[in-house]
Amino acid sequence: EQCSLNRGNEPHTDFIYCCGAITEVLKYGPCQLHSGHKVLFLIIPGNPGVVGFYTTFIKTLHKMFGYRHPVWAVSHAGHCVPPDSMDMVEDASLAVEGDVFGLNGQVEHKLAFLRKHVPRETSLVLVGHSIGCYIILEMMKRDPDLKVLKAIMLFPTIERMAQSPQGKVMTPMLCHMRYVAYLPVFLLSLLPDSLKSSLIKLVLSGIHYLDPTIVQPTVGLLSGDCAANAMYMGGQEMRKVLERDNTAIEKNLEKLIFYYGASDHWCPVQYYQDIKQDFPHGDIKLCKNGFRHAFVLDAGREVAEMVVEWIRGDMSFLFFF
């Protein structure tokens, strides 16, 4: 009952099993949806798909729309630390069969989450970050009847990931040396949380306006299994995110807003220029604010404010806002 009355700007966190794997859902606004909820903002994260990274971003969206619309973020399967009463997987055979921690499995995981937890008549504003944008395009392709009002693609890694400057660095590690990388992660997982927290602050100390809400989710990521699942998914991204899906983009162009970074090593400016050339009538923007690919580290509020501006400027939203 407390949950359904959660209309203020206090977050609520649910841990559920979806496709047999542990999933964390961060919710601002109502915790259960009914047919009276016309719009849901749903954030599909990057990788690692830890919802706690998006706390400031989600809180700002919720506040700027006057607390009227629920804003949720759903983690990737297995990208969270299960509470003591739950395991990483509820049904091991289901998780293995669907390869739920893989890229395709993560797409199916989000569609399954919608089917189970969001009424079919609720309209969606999907907000993807990084690989979350690829997942959104796949969701719209696989379920064309989803009621998507708008899909916001922030720093979209939707093509040629392994060929990007960052991809060239990460591909060998994620695809060929993943098990070697597990060792330091395992060793870090043995440290007490207070020491992990100090290490994280030290590593991120170069970021002047680091969002303090980032630290605790990063501690969780260093639990071992979380990081292993993120690396497994990352290896598949390098192998599978190749050509841009122009058919899916063409079909949904009027619903899509793309936002590319001006110095993004995962999707260089060339990718922005290429998509702009292929879709001259698309809403495709290049960052002028110096936001980094991992914007949640220090610009969650500013990026959320920008997204709200785009949505408020869209005439098709007048009915809802």
Q: Regarding predicted confidence, which is higher, 282 or 184?
A: 282
* Annotation says 293 is catalytic: yes
pTM of the predicted protein model: 0.93
209-245 pLDDT, tens digit each: 999 999 999 999 887 789 999 999 999 999 999 999 9
Residue 129 has pLDDT above 50, yes or no: yes
145-171 mean pLDDT: 96
Choose the weakest-confidence range: 7-11, 189-193, 195-199, 278-282: 7-11
Handedness of CA 172, 223, 51, 207 (dihedral sign): negative
Q: Which pLDDT value is given to residue 277?
A: 98
Residue 6 has pLDDT above 60, yes or no: no
- DSSP H or E stretch at residue 56: helix 55-64
Backbone angles phi, psi at 193, to 5 degrees: -55, -35
249-272 mean pLDDT: 97
Domains of the chain by start residue, with CATH: 12-161+241-319 (3.40.50.1820)
Residue 2 has pLDDT above 50, yes or no: no
> With bands split at pLDDT 50, 70 and 90, how would you rate the model's confidence at 186?
confident
Q: Which pLDDT value is given to residue 308?
A: 95
Residue 7 has pLDDT above 60, yes or no: no
Q: Regarding predicted confidence, which is higher, 321 or 283?
A: 283
Rg (CA), the chain: 19
Q: Which pLDDT value is given to residue 16?
A: 97
Choose the weakest-confidence range: 1-5, 97-101, 201-205: 1-5
Among the listed residues 125, 23, 111, 117, the one whose alpha carbon sits nearest the alpha carbon of residue 74: 23
The CA distance from 147 to 296, in Å, is: 27
Residue 190 has pLDDT above 90, yes or no: no
Tally the residues of the chain: 321
> Considering 211, 225, 264, 298, which one is annotated as catalytic?
264
133 class by beta-carbon count within 10 Å (0-12 exposed, 13-18 middle, 19+ buried):
buried
* Annotation says 264 is catalytic: yes
> Considering 130, 211, 225, 298, which one is annotated as catalytic?
130
* Annotation says 130 is catalytic: yes
87 class by beta-carbon count within 10 Å (0-12 exposed, 13-18 middle, 19+ buried):
exposed
Q: Which pLDDT value is given to residue 1?
A: 33
Q: Which pLDDT value is given to residue 20?
A: 94
55-75 mean pLDDT: 95
Sheet with 71-74: strands ordered across = 11-18, 21-28, 71-74, 39-44, 123-129, 148-154, 256-260, 283-286
179-200 mean pLDDT: 84
Question: Is omega for the bond preceding 48 within 30 degrees of 0, making it cis?
Answer: yes
Residue 188 has pLDDT above 80, yes or no: yes
The CA distance from 225 to 208, in Å, is: 30
Residue 206 has pLDDT above 70, yes or no: yes
Question: Which percentage of the chain shows pLDDT scores above 70?
Answer: 95
